[in-house]
């Protein structure tokens, strides 16, 4: 195992080491967004050395999936007079293969990648898998079964939330998150990049912390050229990523795409009933489950509106690639392969950057809490918009502390120090006035400005109680 390749995965590596050295058999489920690095983590940790490994095949029939499994068995030394003809026989051969491996002082490692793709309709795969683990694997003390899958909904419903024979059978689970800004910076530095944090944030706002996407960047080129080659070149690697992203994650993706499209039109977020109305979707169980799956996969952020009940929760599109796609690729009819270079002063870029920077801040709330010195205080994050008397206001996000303080957070993306002029100072004071009046809170309000390069000190900046910059988000 080469630990130097595990940038940003230290906790997951420590967990895998613990599971590999435990005194009983382990059934480990590793799941997360497509391209987040699940397969890479497992292969690198075990140096691509397994006692059995198989990868499901995308959109293939049950017959082909079974044949692929049987060929993998043969590759690892399985022998038979007659090849398995169904999944029960195939897993019986896997058990025989593993039993014939002599004891070596370590667990026998089985890696089944893209497991959901193997479970084709009426194939009997899941029942055979269940019988293999419940009837034999779980009874041993030297088996480490690792399953991965990008189809997060299948993993969640068929394994982690299974109410049948696989109920509570997964002994361990690892949900692999995208890189933070700090991890992204460390990753790019390891690949020889000499980019400023401002440039790293711009790339992050388009790609998020997805390792596969970040690997596509070329450190010898400026950021604008990278964006053109990756997103806007007709043969670029992410030109048509959207067309397969949701289908591989969610299978029949029509319902999911309707929800995503509705949310892409209201960047500040929508309530559940508003999504259903805009997308023309009945508010039934399928809709609720799809919304939950999108939230569980971190494509949609769910949070409360300050002071309101749970049924007033707001759902907000928060996947960086999807946000970028709908803003610049979905309706792009210009076919300019240097679009990013040619639109440096496009107002749409500023609108996108301003909104997306707010998402970056929300995804780094633990870094913000640490920089504000409130890591040891219980807090909740929420949104808010409202009216008091004749004034309206909307606040980017609110940190409601357990102590008698509420921090009103405003995120501003700019190329230089952010300047608060007389007009903007009045706008900020109005936000505080409307929030105080509409909510009736007795807590003290503190205004926190989170900007790229800080707030320029002048006669109007005294309204700011605390300010953070890009550097704080990289902690």
Conformational region of residue 276, where left means phi above 0, alpha means psi within -120 to 50, and beta covers everything else: alpha
Average pLDDT over every residue of 142-148: 96
**High-pLDDT (> 90) share of the chain, %:** 75
pLDDT at 95 over 60: yes
For residue range 275-304, list pLDDT tens digits in order. Answer: 999 999 999 998 998 898 898 888 999 887
Name the band, by pLDDT with cuts 50, 70 and 90, for residue 311.
low
- Residue range 247-271, pLDDT digits in tens: 877 766 889 999 999 999 988 889 9
Given this model, what pLDDT does residue 2 score? Answer: 47
Residue 358 confidence (pLDDT): 94
| Lookup: tokens for 400 | 């409601």
Domains in the chain, CATH or no CATH each: 3-176 (3.40.50.300), 178-302+313-363 (no CATH), 370-473 (3.40.1350.10)
Express each pLDDT in 331-381 by its tens digit: 776 678 899 999 888 888 999 999 999 999 999 999 999 999 999 999 999
**Which tokens in the block code for residue 249?**
């994650």
| Bridge partners (DSSP) listed for residue 109 | 144
Average pLDDT over every residue of 427-434: 97
- Is pTM beyond 0.85 here? yes
| Predicted pLDDT of residue 151 | 80
Report the interhelical angle of 241-250 vs 254-264 (nearest 10°). Answer: 120
Average pLDDT (434-443) is 95
Query: From CA 355, how far away is CA 320, in angstroms rounded?
Result: 11
pLDDT mean across residues, the chain: 92
């Amino acid at each position: 195992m080469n630990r130097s390749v595990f940038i940003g995965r230290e906790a997951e590596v420590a967990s895998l080491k613990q599971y590999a050295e435990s005194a009983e058999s382990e059934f480990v489920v590793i799941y997360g967004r497509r391209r987040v690095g699940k397969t890479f983590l497992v292969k690198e940790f075990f140096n691509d050395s397994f006692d059995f490994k198989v990868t499901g095949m995308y959109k293939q029939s049950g017959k082909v999936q079974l044949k692929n499994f049987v060929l993998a068995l043969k590759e690892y030394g399985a022998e038979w007079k007659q090849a398995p003809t169904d999944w029960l026989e195939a897993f019986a051969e896997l058990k025989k293969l593993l039993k014939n491996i002599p004891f070596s002082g370590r667990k026998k490692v089985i890696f089944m990648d893209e497991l959901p793709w193997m479970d084709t309709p009426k194939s009997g795969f899941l029942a055979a898998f269940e019988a293999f683990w419940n009837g034999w694997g779980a009874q041993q003390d030297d088996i480490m079964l690792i399953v991965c899958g990008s189809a997060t909904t299948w993993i969640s419903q068929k394994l982690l939330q299974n109410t049948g024979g696989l109920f509570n059978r997964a002994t361990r689970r690892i949900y692999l998150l995208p890189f933070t800004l700090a991890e992204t910076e460390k990753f790019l530095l390891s690949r020889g990049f000499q980019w400023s944090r401002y440039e790293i944030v711009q790339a992050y706002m388009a790609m998020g912390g997805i390792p596969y996407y970040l690997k596509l960047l070329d450190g010898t080129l400026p950021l604008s050229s990278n964006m053109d080659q990756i997103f806007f070149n007709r043969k670029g690697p992410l030109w048509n990523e959207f067309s397969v992203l949701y289908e591989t994650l969610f299978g029949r993706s029509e319902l999911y795409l309707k929800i995503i499209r509705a949310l892409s039109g209201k960047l500040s977020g929508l309530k559940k009933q508003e999504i259903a109305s805009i997308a023309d979707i009945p508010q039934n169980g399928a809709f609720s489950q799809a919304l939950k799956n999108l939230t569980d996969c971190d494509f949609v952020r769910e949070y409360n509106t300050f002071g309101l009940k749970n049924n007033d929760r707001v759902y907000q599109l928060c996947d960086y690639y999807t946000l970028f796609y709908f803003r610049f690729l979905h309706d792009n009819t210009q076919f300019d392969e240097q679009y990013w270079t040619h639109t440096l002063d496009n107002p749409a870029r500023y609108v996108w950057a301003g909104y997306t920077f707010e998402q970056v801040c929300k995804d780094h709330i633990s870094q913000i809490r640490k920089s504000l010195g409130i890591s040891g205080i219980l807090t909740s994050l929420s949104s808010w918009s409202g009216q008091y008397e004749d004034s309206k206001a909307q606040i980017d996000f609110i940190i409601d502390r357990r102590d008698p303080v509420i921090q009103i957070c405003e995120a501003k993306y700019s190329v230089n120090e952010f300047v608060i002029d007389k007009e903007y100072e009045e706008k900020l004071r109005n936000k505080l006035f409307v929030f105080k009046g509409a909510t009736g809170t007795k807590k003290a309000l503190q205004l926190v400005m989170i900007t790229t390069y800080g707030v320029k000190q002048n006669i109007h900046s005294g309204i700011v109680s605390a300010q953070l910059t890009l550097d704080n988000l990289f902690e």
